[in-house]
Structure 1
Amino acid sequence: MKVLGKKIRERRKEKKLSQIGLAEGICTQATVSKIENKNRCESLDVFSSICSKLGLSVFECLEETYEQEIDRILTNVEYLCEQVRHREAYELIYQYNLEGKFISQTTKIKFLYYRGLTSLLGKSKYEEAKKYLSQGVNIEKQLNIYNILSMNAIGILYQLQENWQQAKVYNEKAYKMVLDFPDDELPAIACKLFYNLAKYYSAVRDYERSIFLCDEGIRLSKKEHTIFGLDVLLYEKAYNEFYLYGTTESYKFAYYFSEFANREGMKKFLEKEFKKYNIELERQVYYYHSTCY
């Protein structure tokens, strides 16, 4: 197995041990030399004993595999996308290529989704985005949430191009896929999918379906104990209920939540909406709710 020989050597010297001293009772001096100079150790038991003697964890001394590196990069990319920093995310991910690499299907689908999404929203490279997203959609052996997000992202691509006929095709497919997905296996990021689909159906004036999707996203955020993206789900629900029923209660709730969660951008946007539609806030009601435990 591949190990971080440099880390072993540095800790050994910190402890003022020779290679022979480190090897004593564990292995030969030649084995320690191979670890430090060639970054190889054929026995996990031996390597575990060496790490223990040096006060190190085995896991922090194993060389990162390419898939582990990709997983780490994807965590950073996902965070940047959540912050709507798609251009930065693109600059981080575009340097990587999975061609010829042994990568699990799950990681590959996730990579293709973010590679396509950042090309679309970070660089407006429509053809490049479609290429990667389509690859993710076509991996059907192991369906996961990123297949569905890729399908939805192609729909968003066509929306941005104002090709509503094709946008309908891909959003309808994503809608069916998420409804067929096992409810107890939906991860928190599916809240983003529910919002994207709700926004699409709102744009085509299918307000009832949009409200249903918002409710599904809100329910999932509660189950997963997350408030990320909850402000936009609450707003989208309020917008659709206002257009469908003429009610304003959800608008007010969305505002109170944005104030509570310090979503200043959403709060200011809602204040403009209130002026536009002559909606008045009930400040005393809000004060009561905000001071209750």
Structure 2
Amino acid sequence: MNIQSFVEKRKEMGLSQKALSKGICTQATLSKFENNGKIPSMKILIQLCNRLDLALDDIIGIDNNGKKKQIQAMNKAEFNLIIEEYDNSWEILKEIDLDSLSDDLKATMQYYYLKGYLNVLDDGDLLEAVFDFNRILSDLDAKGETIFTFLAFVGMGMVYAQQGDDAKSEYYFSKVFNDIYGMEIDDVTKIWRYINIIFYCSLYYSNRKEFETANTLLRYGVKICQDNHVTYYIARIYEQLAINKCEVDGQSDDVLDLLNKAQVFSEFNHNENELIKIRKLIKDCK
């Protein structure tokens, strides 16, 4: 029984025992499992694992084959994407054997989405990113039935935005924007990806100085984070709200208040990359 990996995943997700157990079991039941190894009913354990996007195999040790290790590694790379640890994500992806994932459609799409985003966000090869996103859009999820299609739309939009092609970037972001409020969220991993979509859409409209649209998305992102007890993205959201506020109204106490909120969440999550940026913004604002 690998309880430690369960606990580490809960903490990595930024979930308290109370948040994880809500609607599934009592906090006391979860505490007994984590601290004393007392196994709840199999039904409860399955629900808890699903909320953490963990396979039951990962906890009770039925199977620990190479593919599962690679998927766990990609989950770590995806988390690093949120906290902007791009070098570590690249190192992980370079070790992934894509052929071994060929029978797992979800894992294959996760690989291409991650590689595409890294190329866009870390000054990589934009042509390679287009290829990665097109693998999802034209082949792996041609009917647009998963969240990976929306992630790929955002990725394509970011590519064309970097190239200064307003028509093409707007084309892709508008395809996401039309459906952004109706996307289904049924596990923690989807929440991360959903907030990812909201954040980068808001960043796009912020850069276009369409602040009303951008701020509406950012405030919606805050609500999703709060409703689902997910804290890792919220610092970046508050930071962008502060930047937008400063762009419109100039430096003010409201801007400083938003930056202070961003700093609190960055410190809580030990996100050093974000803290460096926020502390500089706070210094400039005073």
Give the TM-score taking structure 1 as reference length: 0.64
Counterpart selection for 2:262 from 248, 258, 273: 258
Deviation at 1:218, TM superposition (A): 0.3
Distance in 2, Cα, partners of 1:198 & 1:204: 10
Deviation at 1:61, TM superposition (A): 6.1
Say whether the 8 Å CA contact 2:74–2:92 is kept in structure 1.
no
Distance in 2, Cα, partners of 1:101 & 1:107: 6
Q: For 1:243-282, what aligned pairs fall within 5 Å after superposition?
A: 243-244=247-248, 248=252, 250-261=254-265, 262=267, 264-275=275-286
Q: Find the counterpart in structure 1 of residue 133 from structure 2.
A: 133
> CA, structure 1 residues 238+93, in 2 after alignment: closer, same or farther (shift >3 Å)?
same
Distance in 2, Cα, partners of 1:87 & 1:195: 21
State, as a whole percentage, how many aligned pairs show the same letter. 14
Q: Find the counterpart in structure 2 of residue 64 from structure 1.
A: 65
> CA, structure 1 residues 266+224, in 2 after alignment: closer, same or farther (shift >3 Å)?
farther
Deviation at 1:252, TM superposition (A): 2.7
Is it true that 1:239 corresponds to 2:243 in the alignment?
yes
Distance in 1, Cα, partners of 2:264 & 2:59: 44
Distance in 1, Cα, partners of 2:80 & 2:112: 16
Deviation at 1:246, TM superposition (A): 6.4
Q: Find the counterpart in structure 2 of residue 48 from structure 1.
A: none
Q: Find the counterpart in structure 1 of residue 94 from structure 2.
A: 94
Letter of the 1:86 partner, please give it.
Y
Q: For 1:127-206, what aligned pairs fall within 5 Å after superposition?
A: 127-138=127-138, 139-141=141-143, 143-182=145-184, 187-206=191-210
Say whether the 8 Å CA contact 2:80–2:88 is kept in structure 1.
yes
Q: For 1:218-237, what aligned pairs fall within 5 Å after superposition?
A: 218-237=222-241
> CA, structure 1 residues 140+179, in 2 after alignment: closer, same or farther (shift >3 Å)?
farther
Give 5+ residue unaligned stretches, structure 1.
Answer: 1-56, 276-293
Distance in 2, Cα, partners of 1:183 & 1:81: 20
Q: How many residues align?
A: 218
Distance in 2, Cα, partners of 1:65 & 1:100: 8
Distance in 1, Cα, partners of 2:259 & 2:82: 21
Distance in 2, Cα, partners of 1:170 & 1:79: 24
Letter of the 1:111 partner, please give it.
Y
Distance in 2, Cα, partners of 1:83 & 1:203: 21
The more displaced of 181-190 and 169-178 is 181-190
SS at 2:191 equivalent: coil
| Residues 78-129 of structure 1, C-alpha deviations (whole Å, 9 max, x = no match) | 1332332323322321343535854333222212101222233346111111
Say whether the 8 Å CA contact 2:112–2:136 is kept in structure 1.
yes
SS at 1:187 equivalent: helix
Deviation at 1:184, TM superposition (A): 6.2
Distance in 2, Cα, partners of 1:91 & 1:176: 35
Q: What root-mean-square deviation, in Å, do the aligned CA atoms of Structure 1 and Structure 2 show?
A: 2.9
SS at 2:192 equivalent: coil
Question: Deviating runs (4+, > 6 A) in structure 1?
Answer: none
Say whether the 8 Å CA contact 1:119–1:129 is kept in structure 2.
yes
